[in-house]
Structure formats: C-alpha cells, structure tokens
Structure 1
C-alpha cells in the first residue's frame, strides 16, 4: 500500500525518479515524530511519581466527597451516581441537574458571570442520558490540582446562577 503523506522516517531511499518506503508501520508515519509530546509525557510521569499516585488518589477521594457533600446541600440539585460513602470507585466529579434549569444555561452563566468552567451535554453517554430520561446534564470535574476553596467558589457561583435563572420565570 502506498502512503498518502510523505516525509520523515517513512522514506527508505530517495532517487531522482522515485522513492522507496520503509516497512510498515514506519511507512505510514510521515513527518517528525512527536518528540516534544514524548518529552512532555516523561516530565508529567516524573511529576506524578514525585507526588505519588496513592497520595493523588487519596486527595481526589477527599476532594470528590467534599464536592458531592457541598452540591447535595444546594436545593433542587440532583446528583447522578452513588454517594462517595456507598462506593470506593467514585471519580472526583459530579454529574448533576437542577430542577427546571437546562444544564447548558448553567454552564454558560457560570462561565460568563463567574469564571467557573463546567461541562454540559451528554458527556459521551447518550445511552445513559436516555436511560435516565434526561436530555443533558452538567458536570463539575476535579483533579489533584483543585482545592476545597475552589469547590466553595463553584458552589457559591452555582447558587447565584440558579437564583438568577429561576428568577427569570
């Protein structure tokens, strides 16, 4: 099979009237390899190793529980999935909906008015959304670089956003 792009390590020999190609898979890898990305990945692995994956997991569980408990206290918020106390396998995120408010409106107002970024939509889980009988959901996602203070900022901004959107009816 002839490659559709040319350059880099995919060439075996070049002549005035033709080129020959390397054996697969190299013949289909035109251009410069992703050297910068590979170096970045190595640095990221070193960074995570220095922190410790067990430490990151422990902190994410704590932070995820804090997010869940903070969100559950907001009136008219429905969180999907089991409570952190019911499972050891909950990621540090919450997918949720607010009664009578579309999740895209929540995400837009949080972003534009409060500088808080969340996701809204199907989250690559349309079948689950259909099963739950919802057309979309909002999702707040955390990682080890987030703090409880940032969760508090999010929840306060969410409360203000809900108040704004529900007062428009």
Structure 2
C-alpha cells in the first residue's frame, strides 16, 4: 500500500490510525532514545512525537517520504524538549558491543563504546543529530537532508568533519 493511501486511511478511520501508529512506533522510540540518551526522556519525546504525528497527519502532503516526515516530527519534538531541559545525553545501545569471548575483550569493547558515547555527546547539536540519523538510524544522505531541511552536500560535509573529529578524539589524531 502506498504511503499516501496509508495516511488517507489513517485520517479516515481510528483503527487505521492505530495501525499506522503501531507501525511507526518502534523507530520513533528508537530515534528518540538515541537522541536523548535516556530511556525515560526518549519515551517522553517519543510519546509527544506520536501525539504530534497523530494531530498533524493531515499536514503530510507526500513531498517527501512518510518516514522522512515522521523523523522530522521526532527531531523537532526532541529539539523542543532540549530547549526545555537544556541537557542531553546519548547512549549507544549495548547491543552495539561485540560479544567477545573473553572478559578482557568485553571490558575493552565496553570501554571503547563508553568513550565513543562521551565523544558523541561533545559534538554540537546539529552534528550529533546528523550523526544519529545517518549512522544509528541508517537514513540515507537524502533522507537526513530532508529531515534536517538542509542540502545533501551540507549533510555530507558535516558528517565528514564529524567523523574526522571523532577519529582524532578517539585515536589521538592517528
């Protein structure tokens, strides 16, 4: 079923709206969690975003993919929450840690993950948002650009600089 049809059905019927929200809920929660760094804050942002999606679904015109529009709503909801709280953390899920056969390797991997998490949190807001959308949510460059309302070249440039900055911070400029 086409995105426009899903949206039209959701606008016409409560059961279709509930189905649409169930469909997008996992990546809304995951994105909110990655951006906030806290399960509790992520749940708050995700709930607010789902409510906004429900209330403003009639504004989706199909000029971008539905997924991109949803990410835009989540990102704007997150930004509103940041303005209210003025504090943000970003954990990477432990599932990103390779389950090493030895305790030493596991401890070292978790240490590297924690170091990466700290360095990501030192990034500016825009760099962190672009990094999360591209690398943790695996959006294409075009989707990130549409979500952030910037050019694809801007996304590529910021990501390049962000990767270089993280590489230098994590490897001491190697």
TM-score, normalised to structure 2's length? 0.30
Which of 1 and 2 has greater Rg?
A: 1
Q: Which has the higher strand share?
A: 1
